[in-house]
Structure 1
Amino acid sequence: MAEQSKKWILMVTAQTPTNIAVIKYWGKRDEKLVLPINESISVTFDPAHLCTTTTVAVSPSFQQDRMWLNKKEISLDGARYQNCLREIRARANDYEDEKKGIKISKNDWQNLHVHIDSYNNFPTAAGLASSASGFACLVFSLAKLMNVQEDNGRLSAIARQGSGSACRSLFGGFVKWVMGKEEDGSDSIAVPLVDEKHWDELVIIIAVVSSRQKETSSTSGMRETVVTSALIEHRAKVLSLYSLH
């Protein structure tokens, strides 16, 4: 990166809705890559009601990657965040803003740190899929910041590594998460089925009876189900044969 003033800051803000599964994915065949044991279909909420708003910024003056969620700083050390950051940086492209005097080559992104400010307009980790909208918004905003040229289908494979259902929040309407067959997860992506106008009279009512964080995370619940349930394999097989075709 050419010598530049450390005073510049480049920022992008994005907003992504959460989604609710009508045919749910429950259980992973690969924990690290977040690959499901069955395909799923979801409906995306109106972002005016349930969404995550994320602002990402980059500057040569930043000393480390940092993130704030709902105005509280959180750690980015976890594998879910690191996987998303790594995958987006690997796909970054050159960026130039002549008016601001900013010029970033694709290789510079590996050495530039980001600050992330994310906010949910609904209870977090309370069973309303905040991780879905959160990681979808994180990946989408970082991709815009770093001039990533891939479409939302390919970005969904990255968001999936943060939270499985996040891949579906990159599209509106009804969305299918294709489980895929490749070991590297490259074909486990979200694809839109129909847009939000397809079932225009559909209304989803959400009653929040508690905003407290749920005691058992989805990740833990799925892991326990895969280990202990005698029916989970049968469910996945039946879904793959009938439900989604």
Structure 2
Amino acid sequence: MKKVTCTAPVNIAVILLGGKRNEELILPINSSLSVTLHQDQLKTTTSIATSRDITEDRIWLNGKEDDINHPRLQSCLREIRRLARKRRSSGSEDGASRNLNYKVHICSVNNFPTAAGLASSAAGYACLVYTLAELYGVEGELSEIARQGSGSACRSMYGGFVQWLMGEREDGKDSLAQQVEAETHWPELRVLILVASAEKKHVGSTAGMQTSVKTSPLLKMRAESVVPGRMEEMIESIRKKDFESFGQLTMKDSNQFHATCLDTFPPIFYLNQVSQQIINLVHRYNAHYGQTKVAYSFDAGPNAVLFLLEPTVNEFVEVVKHSFPPAPNGDPFIKGLPVSPAPLSQELTTAIEGDACPGGVRYVIITQTGPGPAQSQDPTLDLLGADGLPRSSA
């Protein structure tokens, strides 16, 4: 039996994807740009096993068997196997080529809430494609294949700051991800994820985008007239490590994305009351200091992703606790990178004062930029046992 285990990261878009021009190939109507988050806090782990004793392809997601015949999953399997066969078309009957004739067992787990607006499908499909490529010895450009599983998965194939070029070709061959800067480029940048709801979204991002493309004039204007310029500005702000520009662009793009959701007919509401309170809190905090110290972004869900620099983290975590007192349920409120207590001045407390919302934020994950997918060398992370079936702990 051959078995490979890999991990892949979540990415958070700061220039958001608005919709697709081709649903089957997942070709976007605009380019996008994201920050890859560190796998120490957020990751998907996938193990894939293959042997002559495995009689059918099967997949388990987060402890439950799932549909292996899902079209997007099958597309990734088919493309990786096609590339593997192409590479080994010389006819040499080595172990790797024999593996191509065997079926696979796939087991995948996330260490964060699935389908709650945290780009779980991006990390999941990036991990699937990367692990399959390692299993079959496929090298080269993989973001095009990952894109066919989940559009934003192509951005999770790289660490640091990544752009997904929309491309122009009908076959999608030029709709690829490219790294703009490595994860080591801006070491002071921190990311806070405020989990307002871990429940599944009422409207999935795919269905929502389809409706927006059909009904929102604002979405068309955004894709054609706004995003191209913003992509250039965002890349420049990242390369210069200009947080003022980076933060303002991030918030404006998030706001405009959700304006297109409201412009969709019938309208889509991804944000909830807690999301709106977080937005107001960030603006009050920035106004107090007269500069952009914290920036928010919301994708197709209610959870806030906040960007800030390391010196601001301790104080702003206290601000979040003040405005969203943790529920007294014994669960940890702060997860991820460590923080230290920071007193809030009376002036700041007055500036951020609003209606406190106890329990509105369930918990906060603190992380930073991180690397792309990697093969695990730790056998304790394997999700599949010697029999090719999920371990009980998986």
- Name the TM-score, length of structure 1 as normaliser: 0.89
Is 1:118 the equivalent of 2:105? no
Identity %: 52
Between the aligned partners of 1:59 and 1:124, the Cα distance in structure 2 is 30
Deviation digits for residues 81-132 of structure 1 (CA, Å, limit 9, x no counterpart): 01000000001145xxxxxxx72427x61x3211001000000111100000
Match of 1:62 among 51, 54, 62: 54
Which deviates more, 78-87 or 198-207?
Answer: 198-207
Shift of residue 212, structure 1, vs aligned partner: 1.4
Which deviates more, 221-230 or 137-146?
Answer: 221-230
Shift of residue 195, structure 1, vs aligned partner: 1.2
Report the AA paired with residue 189 of structure 1.
Answer: L
Between the aligned partners of 2:227 and 2:118, the Cα distance in structure 1 is 26
Preserved CA contact (<8 Å) 2:36 2:160: yes
Deviation digits for residues 40-96 of structure 1 (CA, Å, limit 9, x no counterpart): 0000000011110000111111111100011100001111101000000001145xx
Between the aligned partners of 1:239 and 1:43, the Cα distance in structure 2 is 20
1:231 aligns to what SS in structure 2?
helix
Is 1:145 the equivalent of 2:118? no
Shift of residue 149, structure 1, vs aligned partner: 2.1
Preserved CA contact (<8 Å) 1:38 1:239: no
Is 1:157 the equivalent of 2:144? yes
- Written as runs of structure 1 = structure 2, the 5 A alignment for 1:15-164 is 15-92=7-84, 93-94=87-88, 103-105=95-97, 109=100, 111-150=101-140, 154-164=141-151
Preserved CA contact (<8 Å) 1:176 1:191: yes
Between the aligned partners of 1:197 and 1:48, the Cα distance in structure 2 is 15
1:244 aligns to what SS in structure 2?
helix
Between the aligned partners of 2:197 and 2:188, the Cα distance in structure 1 is 28
Preserved CA contact (<8 Å) 1:156 1:190: yes
Report the AA paired with residue 126 of structure 2.
Answer: A
Between the aligned partners of 2:104 and 2:207, the Cα distance in structure 1 is 29
Shift of residue 240, structure 1, vs aligned partner: 4.9
The equivalent of 2:173 in structure 1 is: 186
| Count of residues paired in the alignment | 225
Preserved CA contact (<8 Å) 2:116 2:201: yes
Is 1:214 the equivalent of 2:218? no
Which deviates more, 116-125 or 235-244?
Answer: 235-244
Shift of residue 33, structure 1, vs aligned partner: 0.1
Between the aligned partners of 2:7 and 2:139, the Cα distance in structure 1 is 19
The equivalent of 1:228 in structure 2 is: 215
Deviant stretches of 4+, over 3 Å: none
- Name the TM-score, length of structure 2 as normaliser: 0.56
Tell which structure's C-alpha radius of gyration is larger: 2
Shift of residue 241, structure 1, vs aligned partner: 3.7
Shift of residue 200, structure 1, vs aligned partner: 1.7
Between the aligned partners of 1:198 and 1:239, the Cα distance in structure 2 is 26
Between the aligned partners of 1:66 and 1:212, the Cα distance in structure 2 is 26
Deviation digits for residues 178-199 of structure 1 (CA, Å, limit 9, x no counterpart): 1111111011100000112222
Deviation digits for residues 185-242 of structure 1 (CA, Å, limit 9, x no counterpart): 0111000001122222111101212221111111001001101111111100124541
Preserved CA contact (<8 Å) 1:34 1:163: yes
Between the aligned partners of 1:147 and 1:55, the Cα distance in structure 2 is 15
Report the AA paired with residue 145 of structure 2.
Answer: I
Match of 1:170 among 157, 171, 175: 157
Unaligned runs of 5+ in 2: 89-93, 233-394
Unaligned runs of 5+ in 1: 1-8, 95-101
Q: CA RMSD in A?
A: 1.3
Preserved CA contact (<8 Å) 1:23 1:42: yes
Preserved CA contact (<8 Å) 2:162 2:178: yes
Higher share of residues assigned helix = 2
Preserved CA contact (<8 Å) 2:96 2:137: no
Give the direction of change, closer, same or farther, for the CA distance of 1:198–1:103 in structure 2 (3 Å limit). closer
Preserved CA contact (<8 Å) 2:12 2:35: yes
